[in-house]
Chains A and B, each alone.
Chain A
Amino acid sequence: MIDVLGFLITLTTYIGIYLVLSLTLTLEVSSGITNFGKVAFYGLGAYTGALIGTYLPLAITGSRASPFDVNGIQLLYTISKSNPVLDLSVFLLSLAAGFAVSALFGLLLTYPIHRVGSALVGFTLLSTGEVLRLFYLNTEPLGESKGFMGIPNPFAWLPQARGAEALYLIIVWCFVGLTYFIVSRIMNSPLGRILKGMRDDELVALYAGWPTPLIKSKVLALTSGLTGVAGVLWAYYFTSINPNMFTPSLTFNIWAMVILGGIDSIVGGVLGTVLLASVDYAARFVIPFIGTTLVTPDYLRWIIVGLVMLVVLLKKPEGLAPRRGGVSKL
């Protein structure tokens, strides 16, 4: 017997977090920033959230336990279950800090990436993501390879697990709504048309008098900040993170979602994300009942994703739901 409500809550939570990533990526792509380092900002947000979520409750309750000891972890679980006010305020603070830290980092990164062409921007950001991952892996206060455990779920104090999941889902979707609002307002505004011009020919935009580096910096700072918040949401949903969660494959997954729906259309990005995330999660309910397979389903999944990407690029480059006349609406 399938627990349909639980299924839908889990699925929509995943979709929500992915939507933030794909919406911001759509904005980046439509401004000519080939961001192959999505995971860098995402991971930075997650680590900022985890840092606040574990050290702060321990410090406030006056405990000297380290968040990496069994004692500290158990204490964190107890605090999150017994102190709703502290639990929620730590979560809200993490959201704000996640935005600030990632946005600042995005802004700093614009310095090197203005100096290289769009293809190299992708690789520079990809490398930055790897550098950050290795940094977490080698920094003791960040838990090194152990990562963080016991990040308090903001609704852990609710007696029913289902209630906590539902409330968390609402928070995620509020944030998805906010991201959608920001991204669609920018892309449908005059600024959106400048961004499109910048992507199509940066040289022309520059000669038309637009300060393209400045605009790009602002866009990257904004999208990075939003991505950082998605990271915080991820960390608090998971309640444990470690450096190996933030490998480049996550970035490629988001790219696949965005390409599937149409590279610079908001509706397309949403559609691609919902499709791919749903197929990924729903497939778990089918795969085990097919019987033993010689071929690992995960490999097949990636082959299909890659092929779909190629077919879309070749046959329908504007994607499943193209952006119309520079203005896209749902």
Chain B
Amino acid sequence: MITQDLISFFLFSLLYLTVTIPLVLAYRVTKVINFTVANYITYGAYTAVLLDYYMRSSFGHNSLLLTVLSSFAVTGLIAVLSNLAVFKPLAEMRVKGDVLMIASMGLWIVLKYVLYIVSDIASSAWRTNLVSYSQIHYDDISLLTVRAGLVGVQQSLVVFPLLALASMLILYLVLNATRVGRAVLAVADNSVLASLSGIAVGRVVSLTWFLTAGLTSLAGVMWTTYSGAITPEVGDSLILQVFTIAFIGGLSSLTRTAAGALLISGVENFGTDLLSTYLGLPTSIKPMLTFTVLLATLIVSPPLGVAGGVPYRFTRGARR
């Protein structure tokens, strides 16, 4: 079943890239190791779920474009608000990175259960089950596939490349072709220098939160066309893979991150199948593979920069 594996590998690589590239960029600007990335994915998916249920019952149609725009707005807004309420005050108190991470953990818990409550209330108000929702079909994508003569093709095969490409394109254009984008890059490199050269760092940070969170939410929308059952655990169950990839990239290098995304996606999709077919191992070991790759990466090639351990940060090549 090498073709099926290849398709899943392709789709998951795109999914991981859509999450991890904004994550790494966000880290370089905000310096927060951010648990709430899980919430961004879930909120993206659930904006799609709520919108789908509402539009289908009211108008009988739904639309990917509208879903993407609302997911982006909702998630981006949450990120900006959480920055204003939590991360900005903490950064002004000059706390350590660990404290920022722990704060993001607290925020992650709050947002996660707020979503549970929202979907519970919506479920009982609409007398349906939104806590576990079936796969969504978007009418504008069906229209598109029919126009393109791709009848019967699964929507995920269209939506994944479409949204992943759009995400990369937006990121590339904003960063390279706009003034504010170059300001973002400047802050990412050195925020002190950037502020000295007259960049309004606070505003740039806010923009980064909005942009990266919004782009992350696209992964949630992608997920709704792919998974057979959408639950409020979507983001949480992807988070360990996502951070594994980000750590392989050392939270700094975009190329290494991209390589990490391909590596993890490949290990999960080909590894599981090969091990089960040729060695007779149960497929239940799949999550173990991911973590083994993480531990192996850390041991074989410890990350540099802030992600590295202090005693080893400067002694690479001349290890004791």
- The short answer to whether A and B are in direct contact, CB under 8 Å, is yes
Q: Bound complex: CA of A252 vs CA of B309, how far in Å? A: 23
Cβ–Cβ contact B110 & A127, under 8 A:
no
- Counting chain A residues whose Cβ lies within 8 A of the other chain, the interface size class is 35 or more
Task: Mark each residue of chain A from 300 to 330: 1 if its CB lies under 8 Å from any CB of chain B, else 0.
Answer: 1011011101100110010000000000000
With A119-B97, A252-B105, A306-B113: A295-B298 Cβ-Cβ less than 8 Å: no
Chain B positions near chain A (C-beta within 8 angstroms)? 33, 86, 89-90, 93, 95-99, 101-103, 105-110, 112-114, 116-117, 120-121, 124, 240, 243-244, 247, 282, 284-285, 287-288, 290-292, 294-295, 298-299, 302-303, 306-313
Known A130-B240, A134-B285, A255-B105: A115·B312 in contact at CB below 8 Å = yes
Contacts of A245 in B (CB 8 A): none
Contacts of B86 in A (CB 8 A): 310, 314
Supposing A34-B98, A130-B287 touch, asked if A120 and B247 sit within 8 A by C-beta, the answer is: yes
**Residue interface mask A106-132, B partner, CB < 8 A = 1:** 000001111111111111101110110
Considering the complex, give the chain A residue whose CB is closest to the CB of B303: A116
Chain B residue nearest to A137 in the complex (CB)? B284
Say whether A61 faces chain B, with CB atoms less than 8 Å apart: no
- The reply to whether B309 and A117 contact each other, CB–CB distance below 8 Å, is yes
B93:A131 contact, CB within 8 angstroms? no
With A127-B240, A310-B103, A317-B93 already in contact, the answer to whether A114 and B312 are too (CB < 8 A) is yes
Distance in Å from the Cβ of A109 to the closest Cβ of chain B?
9
Q: Do B121 and A127 have beta carbons less than 8 Å apart?
A: no
Q: Mark A254-291, 1 if CB is under 8 A from B, else 0.
A: 01100100010000000000000000000000000000
Q: A124 contacts which chain B residues (CB < 8 A)?
A: 294-295, 298
Measured between beta carbons, the chain B residues less than 8 angstroms from A138 are 282, 284-285, 288
Contacts of B288 in A (CB 8 A): 131, 134-135, 138
The winner among A117, A123, A135 for most chain B CB atoms within 10 A is A117
Q: Are B98 and A294 in contact (CB under 8 A)?
A: no
Query: Among A34, A127, A206, A296, which residue has its beta carbon within 8 angstroms of that of B295?
Result: A127
Q: Is B243 touching A123 in the complex (CB atoms < 8 A)?
A: yes
Do residues B113 and A116 form an inter-chain contact, with CB atoms below 8 A?
no
Please, which residues of chain A bring their CB within 8 A of the CB of B120?
A: 294-296, 299
Residues on B with C-beta less than 8 A from A203 are 310
Most buried by B among A119, A122, A130, A295: A119
